[in-house]
Amino acid sequence: MHILAIGLDCAMKTCATSLAYITEKLFDCMRAKCVPIYLGAPNIADYVDAGTFIDRRKFRSSAELADFLLSMTENEYAQYRQAIQAYLRSDRFAAFLPPAFADNVIRVLSL
């Protein structure tokens, strides 16, 4: 995993590209008020709202990604930030927090 901070943005690459393998790094970026540039689990949008991150796979090259970032308006950037804040308050995100993890362990172990 490589993380590069760019102003308030965060570029990240998760080495694992397995379905549903999502690490805390994505959420760390969001909680740090960064807009993540994500390359990882191909089904990430099944778990994380698509408007909360920039999907690196949508760009054919790093140059194309750079052009996208440089042409982003303040309003577009603010929309990502607002979507992130809404996601962090949602039940979808709560599923990744410790209480949900503990509930899953208890359920699986039939405790």
Please write the tens of the pLDDT for every residue from 60-74: 999 999 999 999 998
Please write the tens of the pLDDT for every residue from 70-98: 999 989 999 999 999 999 999 999 998 98
Please write the tens of the pLDDT for every residue from 6-44: 444 555 555 555 566 788 889 999 999 899 999 888 899
pTM > 0.85: yes or no: no
At residue 47, φ and ψ (nearest 5 deg) are: -120, -25
C-alpha 44, offset from chain centre: 8
The domain spans of the chain are 2-108
Listed in sequence order, the residues at least 6 apart from 74 whose beta carbon sits closer than 8 Å to its beta carbon are none
- Number of Cβ atoms within 10 Å of the Cβ of 47: 14
The count of C-alpha atoms lying within 13 angstroms of the C-alpha of 42, restricted to the half-sphere facing its C-beta, is 3
CATH of 2-108, one of 3.65.10.10, 3.30.365.10, 3.20.20.80, 3.40.50.11660: 3.40.50.11660
